[in-house]
Structure 1
Amino acid sequence: MPWSTSELAELAGTTVNTVRHYHRSGLLEEPDRMSNGYKQYGARHLVRLLQIRRLRDLGVPLSQIESVGSGGDSPAGALLAIDSDLEASIERLQRARAEIRAILEGSTATDLPPGFEDVAKRLSTPERSLMLVYEQLYDREAMKDLRTMVETDSDDGSAEFEALTVDADDETRQRIAAMFAPAIARQVIDHPWLTEPDAHLLKGPRVTSDTFVETFRELYNEAQLDVIARASVLAREQVETARAASDPDDLIDPDDRLDSDGGESR
C-alpha cells in the first residue's frame, strides 16, 4: 500500500517539511500521484530517505550527499573529504572544550586571545581589548611576537599612563612618553614588521588602519592618545639612531630615558 507524505515522514523518523526540502534539493525524487492528486510513496522512496538521513547523521552536508551516491556506492574521494572536514570540526570542538574548562578553572580568560593566559596580569583592561582586536587583524606569527612583547615589556610609566586624565599638563605627558619610548624603539628593532606590517595582515591595510584608529579612540582619552603619539615620535628617533649605529644595543638601553627636551638622562 503506497504511503502519503506524512506516513513516509513518520516511518523515516523525520518531518513532512524535511521530505519536501529533499524534493526541492533534488535528493529525493517526486513520487507518482493518485487521481485525487495525493502523492504515492513506495519502498524505494523510503529507502532513499533513510539513506539521506543516515548520511546526515554522519555529518555529510546536503550539498555533498549526491556525490556519495544514491545507491550502494560510496565514492572514496567524497567520503575522505567529508572525513577530513569532520576531523577538523572535532579538533575545533575539543580545543573549545579545553578552553572552556580552563576558563571554569580560572586558568584563562574570555577577554584575551588563546596563548595570552600567562601574561594576562601584565595587561590592563584596554590592552586586553586591543589584543582581541589584534587577533582579528594580525596572523599567528605576529600574534606570537605581540605576546613576546607583552612578556618582556617593562611596566615603567604604565600606572601613570592608565591614571592620566584629559587635563594632564604638557610636562607630564612628555615625561610619560619619554618613559615609553625606549621600550617601543626596542620592539621595533626586534620586530621590524611593526613598521611594515602588510605581510602579517589578515585584512587590508585601510581596514586595519581604520580599525586601529577607532579602537584607540574608544579605549583611551585625549591625553593618553597624545602620550602614545609623542612616545612614537621619540621611539622613531631612537630607532633611526640605532639603525645608523653598528650595535643598536649600545644606543638603546632599557634604563635610558629621554627628558622633556628630547635629551638623554639616567
Structure 2
Amino acid sequence: MRIGELAKATGVDVETIRYYERAGLLPEPARESNGYRAYGIGHLERLAFVRHCRALDMPLEAVRRLLDFAAQPEADCGDINELIDDQLGRVRARIESLRALERQLAALRAQCGEPHAARECGILQELVAAAHGEACACHEPEG
C-alpha cells in the first residue's frame, strides 16, 4: 500500500508517518519500481501500535523503548512496568495542574456574576490588575 492508504487505514497524517520513519519508529518501506514507497501489514501494525501509545500521550522515547520490548518477547517486563509508572506519574501531575487551573478559572469567573458593561466587569478588572503585577482573585497570595 502507498503512504496515503497507510495514513487512511491508521488515521495518522502522511507527514507524521514520514516523521516516524525519520525518527526510526517506523522502518523504511521498500520502493516500487516507480519509486513509490510500498508499505506492508507490518508497517500498518507498527504504526497502529505507535499511534495507540501516542494516544496515551507517551513520549516518543518511551514508544521507542516499548517497540524494542515488543521485538524481544522473552525480555523481562519490569522496565515496561517502570515506563508505564513514569507515564502515570506525568498524567497524575498534569491532572493536578488542571485541577489548580480549574480552581483559578472558577475564582476568576466568580468576579462577574451578571453581564454588564465591560468597564465594570470584575473578570477584566482582575486580569488587568494581574497584568500590572497586583494580586488577583485567581491566584492565591504567596506566603
How high is the TM-score relative to the length of structure 2? 0.73
Q: 2:8 aligns with which of 7, 10, 27?
A: 10
Count of aligned pairs between the two proteins:
116
User: Which amino acid counterpart does residue 104 of structure 2 have in structure 1?
Assistant: E
2:140 to 102, 115, 124: 115
- Find out whether 1:94 has 2:99 as its counterpart: yes
Offset, 1:64: 2.0
Task: Mark the runs of 5 or more structure 1 residues left unpaired by the alignment.
Answer: 117-142, 145-266
Contact 1:32 1:41 in 2 (8 A): yes
Q: 1:31 aligns with which of 13, 29, 32?
A: 29
Q: Aligned partners of 1:90, 1:49: CA distance in 2, in Å?
A: 28
1:87 Cα deviation (Å)? 0.8
Deviation, 1:68, is 2.5
Q: CA deviation at 1:63?
A: 2.6
Distance 1:80 1:68 in 2: 13
Q: Distance in 2 between matches of 1:69 and 1:62?
A: 10
Q: Is the 8 A contact 1:68 1:79 kept in 2?
A: no
Alignment equivalent of 2:47, drawn from 3, 25, 49: 49
- State the secondary structure of the residue aligned to 1:23: helix
Which SS does the other structure have where 2:49 is aligned?
helix
For 1:78 and 1:59, the matched residues in 2 are separated by 12
Q: Secondary structure at the match of 1:50?
A: helix
Alignment of 1:103 onto 2:108: yes
Provide the C-alpha distance between the structure 1 equivalents of 2:37 and 2:64, rounded to a whole number of angstroms: 23
4+ residue stretches of structure 1 with deviation over 2 A? 68-74, 107-110
Distance 1:94 1:43 in 2: 42
Structure 2, unaligned runs of 5 or more: 113-122
For residues 171-229 of structure 1, give each alpha carbon's deviation from its aligned partner in whole angstroms, at most 9, with x where no partner exists: xxxxxxxxxxxxxxxxxxxxxxxxxxxxxxxxxxxxxxxxxxxxxxxxxxxxxxxxxxx
Instruction: Determine which structure has the larger helix proportion and give its number.
Output: 1
Write out per-residue CA displacement over residues 119-177 of structure 1, whole angstroms, 9 at most, x where no aligned residue.
xxxxxxxxxxxxxxxxxxxxxxxx41xxxxxxxxxxxxxxxxxxxxxxxxxxxxxxxxx
> Residue 22 of structure 1 is aligned with which of 20, 23, 29?
20
Q: Which of 78, 81, 85 in structure 1 is aligned with 2:83?
A: 78
d(CA) in 2 for partners of 1:95, 1:69: 35
Question: Letter of the aligned partner of 1:63 in structure 2?
Answer: E
Superposition deviation, residue 24 in structure 1: 0.8
Do the aligned residues in 2 keep the contact of 1:55 with 1:65 (CA within 8 Å)? yes
Secondary structure in 2 matching 1:69: helix
